[in-house]
Structure 1
Amino acid sequence: MIPRLAIRSNALRHAAKAKATASASASSSFSAIHRYSTQIFRPDGSSIKVKEELAPLTKHIRNTILSTGPISIAKYMQTALISPVGGYYTRGQVFGRSGDFVTSPEISQMFGEIMAVWYVLHWEMLGRPEKTSFVELGPGRGTLMADMLRAAKRFPAFAASIRAVHFIERSPELRKMQHEKLGCSWESTRMVEDKNDKGTPVAATSADGLTVRWYDLMEEIEGGSDCVPMVMAHEFFDALPVYKFEKGAGDQWSEILVDVADSDAAPMAAAANAGKVDANQLATHFKYVRSRSVTANAALALNNPKFSSMFDKGDHVEVSPESARVMMQLADWISANNGMGLIVDYGQDWTQGDTFRGIRSHKFANPLSSPGLMDLTADVDFSYLRYAAKGRAQCHGPVEQGAFLHAMGIQARLQQLLKSTSDENMQKTLVDCYTRLTDAQSMGRIYKVLAVLPKSSQAVPIPFAPPSKEELNTPKVEKIVR
């Protein structure tokens, strides 16, 4: 089982994660799709190529490409994840052991408890505002929020300030899970006013008496300076669509697009006489192609001078304008309402080029295979998020998740939990979970934490160190080494 990440950036290819890197690299580089076998062998030794089933979402994407031409990776990713035709997040069971990946809150309650402590400390730093609300972007099954609210009860004054919980969540199935996780009463629940979707909650009251509301977009939340927002974005930005580009001669960038694959393979039914078929052996309906000229996406996304000065011919870069848009909105909202926020995700503090990948059943998979049946994700560029928030809010970090959790006291919490049980198996599980969250060879290094405070704030949040004079006066330049 793997967490929702792949240690596979160019900057880490020399590290001890070589085996994981090799597995993941087959899922996203421009030419890597050709590494997937599409040969199905018959009992007599002959072979055929077999395409995947043409599911409704696959057919929808295929027809779009046939009508309009190759599409961006961003459009493919967005359609595969949230399309009502059968997008990945319209499904319910995508998290945990029975799903496709495991997130930090699902590994251990300690993660959510430590995050709650951070908000308590910074609530104190803001002068104990009387009214607060939690806002979570992409709340998954609601596990993280449930753990934070439970931990908040240990700080009565802080817990008393919490007036509401706001979830930014489009998936009807996940909304229902969050409703259940927070113990919301169905009697108090207001549903979506759509006769075709009667079971999707819009507002409810939690078991603790808190108002819980769901929104498709953050701008739908009604702001107010009298209610301080405490924002959490855990593994949210990695699911936002990315564009991928390749640098050519003369600083010209071509875009990597998704096109319909060659039709030189038999339909799925032809595998009937070939015995058992592995999903990775099936030919996909899609392939990568390069644009012949500079696309509008390339012209808009790569106008930052760093992209021409930092990269060489043949280099790839991934850019997520949607991440920048959300970050600017988040920064403005936190500053306008004197709030605070944490962004926790996997990625690096620089731009990468080959991190777009698929994850299915806790294994890396070809991202162009079976859209809607796997998670699609890309590493977060934290430098890009900071750049988007510049002048709008104060950003601190990122720091590695392991360092953050240790500084916030996860070891002390682990000791408390170990003392609370004499069951050796349970104690071993607790230690294993702690290790997965903090160890550099697991989630402790690749996951990062970025804090966001109002632009007027002069405080340095715990446990982020103030920047040195050298860092303030020296621009950060990172060159990815292949």
Structure 2
Amino acid sequence: MAALTPLVLRQYSPTIYKPDGTAHTTKEELTPLAKHIRDTILATGPISIASYMQLALTSPIGGYYTRGQVFGREGDFVTSPEISQMFGEIMAVWYAMHWETMGRPAKTSFVELGPGRGTLMNDIMRASKRFKAFYASIQGIHFIEKSPELRRLQHDKLGCDWNDTTATSDKNSPGIPASGTSKSHNGLRISWYDLLEEIAVEQDCVPLVMAHEFFDALPIYKFEKSEGGKWSEILVDVAESTSIPTDPVSSSAKPSTSHFKYVRARGVTSNAALIMRDQRFGALFDKGDHVEISPESARIMIQLAEWISSKSGMGLIIDYGVDWTQGNTFRGIKNHRFSDPLSSPGSMDLTADVDFSYLRYAANGKARCFGPIEQGEFLHSMGIQARLQQLLHSTSDAKVQKDLVDCYKRLTDVHSMGRVYKVLAVLPAETAMTPVPFASAAAKEGS
């Protein structure tokens, strides 16, 4: 989950030339996590990119999300809610507006997947107080979050009292919140879960789902179409200390400090046989093309779609990506720059563009999807310019005013986040209405 506009990746590799003129690259430090991944590969053979991502992001040995400060200017990337309060305020307006159109249900609960530092939900709840009847319907907040450090940050951001907090039973990492009471938001109960299916919401309680920069961090598998229409899986292997690995993504040989490299599977892997049997992939791609597929994204999307339909809920999915399948978007993000995803696992965020067509395909027949539309269009249609004017008039400080305008531009400009990020709305399968502001993008069922 990372808010970045495209940047040129510059790699600096200390290269030493041996007497015969060939290049030898000094390898980076072998951290405990890198050693664990290396030993796993040496024991079992090359692993999928999905397995590598899971280890690098969530391993208790040193996975990226076990760290605390990964968001914001002091971290590796800045998300939209961290840029401006206006983002969360606009989301609150959207939920309140559609709560009205759906008959003002008496009970609602917010459900956020991958809530970051809790900034977005905190802004949504703060802005929701302006809509008294809507705010009164909110029974609680449910966070899907595996990271212990991020749970603690979310707990504090929403003003929960540690004296009234129930911790998990994990003895190896004490103080991980499982539930707490928010003093900032009228004593609402905040609950944390590892998985969506763990949430138990009353049958008459309508879920209001938010997935902001969640799907981009889910594990992907990568495949290359070979001779005869077969798909070869791209795997992660150990790079020898003297090797200059060839990256099958770019087909260029560059010295690398990483202990890992990409390789093509020698035969048809079980992943390739299972995932790529869908004929929609075979018809759209030619020999040599690469595709990135996230079965975990499809699995979660199916759950969300069925849940939203069965409980008459609503959801927004906001992420960077496109409405078709791509092949070469897997990357690392460190210190607000793109970086080699195989370098120093655990030190950077790993991400890939979201395939919104794949999410819609997964939801087909289970819920109605509207969009995706560009983030800039969504925010403008929902009134972000009017909110900007209100904030500008509330201060005479020129610097504050400039910062407000700069943040607005960053969120909406087509050369920044306004075009790269997309918004997809998910409503129950029986929904007849078109949600605001998706009139320009009629409901799209599976592709």
- 1:115 and 1:239 map into 2 onto residues whose CA distance is 22
The aligned residue for residue 100 of structure 1 is 76
Question: Alignment partner for residue 375 of structure 2, among 401, 407, 427?
Answer: 401
The superposition leaves residues 64-92 of structure 1 with CA deviations (integer Å, 9 ceiling, x where unpaired) of 10011000001001110011111100000
The superposition leaves residues 323-351 of structure 1 with CA deviations (integer Å, 9 ceiling, x where unpaired) of 00000011111111111000000000000
The aligned residue for residue 212 of structure 2 is 234
Could you tell me which amino acid in structure 2 is paired with residue 64 of structure 1?
A: T
Is residue 178 from structure 1 mapped to residue 177 from structure 2 by the alignment?
no
Following superposition of structure 1 onto structure 2, how do residues 268-307 of structure 1 map, counting pairs within 5 Å? 283-307=257-281
Q: Give the secondary-structure state (helix, strand or coil) at the position aligned to 2:338.
A: strand
Once the 2 structures are TM-superposed, how far is the Cα of residue 305 of structure 1 from its aligned partner? Answer: 1.6
The superposition leaves residues 180-229 of structure 1 with CA deviations (integer Å, 9 ceiling, x where unpaired) of 10000111100112322221100100012100000000100003221111
**Contact 1:224/1:337 (8 A) holds in 2:** no
Following superposition of structure 1 onto structure 2, how do residues 299-378 of structure 1 map, counting pairs within 5 Å? 299-378=273-352
Could you tell me which amino acid in structure 2 is paired with residue 302 of structure 1?
A: M
Could you tell me which amino acid in structure 2 is paired with residue 75 of structure 1?
A: S
Question: Alignment partner for residue 438 of structure 2, among 464, 467, 474?
Answer: 464
Is residue 215 from structure 1 mapped to residue 214 from structure 2 by the alignment?
no
Structure 1, 358-367 or 48-57: larger mean CA deviation: 48-57
Question: Alignment partner for residue 167 of structure 2, among 191, 207, 217?
Answer: 191
Is residue 435 from structure 1 mapped to residue 409 from structure 2 by the alignment?
yes
- 1:319 and 1:194 map into 2 onto residues whose CA distance is 33
**Contact 1:71/1:259 (8 A) holds in 2:** yes
Following superposition of structure 1 onto structure 2, how do residues 76-115 of structure 1 map, counting pairs within 5 Å? 76-115=52-91
The superposition leaves residues 371-391 of structure 1 with CA deviations (integer Å, 9 ceiling, x where unpaired) of 001000000000000000001
Q: Give the secondary-structure state (helix, strand or coil) at the position aligned to 2:163.
A: coil
Is residue 423 from structure 1 mapped to residue 422 from structure 2 by the alignment?
no
- 1:413 and 1:76 map into 2 onto residues whose CA distance is 43
The superposition leaves residues 85-122 of structure 1 with CA deviations (integer Å, 9 ceiling, x where unpaired) of 11100000000011000000000000000000000011
Could you tell me which amino acid in structure 2 is paired with residue 51 of structure 1?
A: K
Could you tell me which amino acid in structure 2 is paired with residue 360 of structure 1?
A: K
Following superposition of structure 1 onto structure 2, how do residues 15-30 of structure 1 map, counting pairs within 5 Å? 20=7, 23-24=8-9
- Provide the aligned C-alpha RMSD in A: 2.2
Question: Alignment partner for residue 30 of structure 2, among 42, 51, 54?
Answer: 54
**Contact 1:345/1:449 (8 A) holds in 2:** yes
- 1:48 and 1:316 map into 2 onto residues whose CA distance is 29
The aligned residue for residue 269 of structure 1 is none
- 1:195 and 1:362 map into 2 onto residues whose CA distance is 35
- 1:246 and 1:206 map into 2 onto residues whose CA distance is 49
**Contact 2:225/2:290 (8 A) holds in 1:** yes
Q: Give the secondary-structure state (helix, strand or coil) at the position aligned to 1:187.
A: helix
Q: Give the secondary-structure state (helix, strand or coil) at the position aligned to 2:223.
A: strand
The superposition leaves residues 147-169 of structure 1 with CA deviations (integer Å, 9 ceiling, x where unpaired) of 00000000111111111000000
Could you tell me which amino acid in structure 2 is paired with residue 381 of structure 1?
A: D
Could you tell me which amino acid in structure 2 is paired with residue 178 of structure 1?
A: Q
Could you tell me which amino acid in structure 1 is paired with residue 227 of structure 2?
A: A
Could you tell me which amino acid in structure 1 is paired with residue 30 of structure 2?
A: L
Structure 1, 343-352 or 188-197: larger mean CA deviation: 188-197
C-alpha spacing 1:47/1:74, structure 2 compared with 1 (3 Å): closer
Q: Give the secondary-structure state (helix, strand or coil) at the position aligned to 2:369.
A: strand
The aligned residue for residue 246 of structure 1 is 224
Q: Give the secondary-structure state (helix, strand or coil) at the position aligned to 1:460.
A: coil
**Contact 2:373/2:441 (8 A) holds in 1:** no
- 2:396 and 2:148 map into 1 onto residues whose CA distance is 41
TM-score by length of 2: 0.93
Is residue 153 from structure 1 mapped to residue 152 from structure 2 by the alignment?
no
**Contact 2:5/2:417 (8 A) holds in 1:** no
Is residue 258 from structure 1 mapped to residue 236 from structure 2 by the alignment?
yes
Could you tell me which amino acid in structure 2 is paired with residue 460 of structure 1?
A: T
- 1:466 and 1:179 map into 2 onto residues whose CA distance is 38
Question: Alignment partner for residue 100 of structure 2, among 106, 124, 137?
Answer: 124
The aligned residue for residue 250 of structure 2 is none
The aligned residue for residue 273 of structure 1 is none
- 1:348 and 1:365 map into 2 onto residues whose CA distance is 21
Q: Give the secondary-structure state (helix, strand or coil) at the position aligned to 2:274.
A: helix
The aligned residue for residue 247 of structure 2 is none
C-alpha spacing 1:184/1:119, structure 2 compared with 1 (3 Å): same
- 1:93 and 1:468 map into 2 onto residues whose CA distance is 39
**Contact 1:335/1:393 (8 A) holds in 2:** yes
Q: Give the secondary-structure state (helix, strand or coil) at the position aligned to 1:371.
A: coil
Q: Give the secondary-structure state (helix, strand or coil) at the position aligned to 1:53.
A: coil
* 4+ residue segments displaced more than 3 Å: 35-38, 466-469
- 2:73 and 2:131 map into 1 onto residues whose CA distance is 32
The aligned residue for residue 32 of structure 1 is none
The superposition leaves residues 116-148 of structure 1 with CA deviations (integer Å, 9 ceiling, x where unpaired) of 000001100111011111100000000000000
- 2:298 and 2:237 map into 1 onto residues whose CA distance is 26
- 1:306 and 1:338 map into 2 onto residues whose CA distance is 31
Q: Give the secondary-structure state (helix, strand or coil) at the position aligned to 1:51.
A: coil
Unaligned 5+ runs, structure 2: 244-253
